[in-house]
A = this chain, B = another copy of it.
């Protein structure tokens, strides 16, 4: 017997037929003797519909009223799942954010969970009642509805799991786990049985979007074990207890379960970056902050930064990347500041990709970066920029070479599945 939190996303909740399939999965786990809480997203497309209403009503919308509107999608699915579970003979009830209450702090529309009053919730779960909780929503100290940013239901689920001290938080998605790389690119990609929080964070932040990044940070902080697994399973599929998905765990647990782990866990790619080069920037104190200060003020997130050796004395080229969605805004801003910065030309290239090699194992092993550069060089792939962290090496390359780079790196680090594709 365990206490588990299960979370289902919008695709799984899209319509009463799919909700019935979700209810079946929940019912099977309760019948296995578990205490169960379920966190649900809105039906796929519903939150977009509601956000559009808000934008039409008021372009500069008040986030407090925005939250009133957009939180309704999860309210609907939580009620419907409770009804469906009841129709199968299960005891179930919905607990809205303000009913728990799930108290949040900070701004509306990007609230953070502060605390959840778990006493009533735990006692309901212990009595055999399935607790159905709308994700994404909470309540502020002023008793107004709050929401936690798009994808916030993952974070809700982890917060609930921490509050009720769950043995596990099973996050059901439209993929069946976390892979060594994108299986659409590499047929020999393997599903990982375990991945650490830090690795998951790096994989998520470089484009392998399975979970909301914040949910992983919160799980790491609260030491909540997460399993990523598929909601598209039939009546005879193994229970989540059999660990059919990928477990996201602490470094410590990882050492216990996987002594012989690889140096590299996975290869991620991200085509949403753009490269910006400013030529002939004066090589003097304050030049860099005159570039990145205004970008930061405009909430444009700069990722990789390289300052090339200047061709002329006292001048240097500065290269950096920004999200493609922000490129036009960044360019306009930089052109406006041209005099102040004192650069010569601005060159932009949206046709780039960031490839990242991620693995907690590389902390203690040199040579991972060297292998990466050599592998790419052998195939004639030019590296335009590099950035590294303790458990990640990223390079910027031409977008057309994305698939080739991922494939050769996957092989080079010994990640290819042996017998059969996963």
Contact = CB atoms under 8 A, between A and B. Distances in A.
Contacts of A143: 99
A78 interface: yes
Contact of A83 (B65, B80, B93): B65
A86 B57 CA distance: 9
Contacts of A69: 75-76, 79-80, 83
Contacts of A99: 143-144
A295 to B, nearest CB: 30
Contacts of A87: 57-60
Nearest to A87: B58
A53 B66 contact: no
Contact of A61 (B53, B83, B144): B83
Centre residue among A60, A72, A93 by max chain B CB count within 10 A: A72
Given A16-B57, A143-B99, A94 B68 contact: yes
Contacts of A72: 72-73, 75-76
Contacts of A159: none
A102 to B, nearest CB: 14
B16 A53 contact: yes
Interface in A42-74: 50, 53-54, 56-62, 64-69, 71-73
Contact of A68 (B16, B66, B96): B96
Interface string A142-159: 011100000000000000
Given A58-B87, A60-B87, A86-B62, A53 B80 contact: yes
Contacts of A113: none
Contacts of A59: 87
Interface in A138-194: 143-145
Interface residues of A, number: 41
A86 B66 contact: no
A387 B86 CA distance: 45
Interface in A78-124: 78-84, 86-87, 93-94, 96, 98-99
B56 A79 contact: no
Contact of A78 (B20, B58, B68): B68
A69 B19 CA distance: 14
Contacts of A145: 96
Interface string A266-303: 00000000000000000000000000000000000000
Contact of A75 (B62, B68, B79, B144): B68
A85 to B, nearest CB: 9
A354 to B, nearest CB: 38
18 contacts: A19-B57, A54-B79, A54-B80, A57-B84, A57-B87, A58-B86, A60-B87, A65-B80, A65-B83, A65-B93, A65-B94, A66-B83, A68-B76, A68-B94, A68-B96, A69-B83, A72-B76, A99-B143
Given A58-B84, A65-B86, A68-B94, 19 more contacts: A16-B53, A16-B56, A53-B76, A54-B79, A57-B81, A57-B87, A58-B86, A58-B87, A60-B87, A64-B93, A65-B79, A65-B82, A65-B93, A65-B94, A66-B79, A66-B83, A68-B75, A75-B75, A96-B145
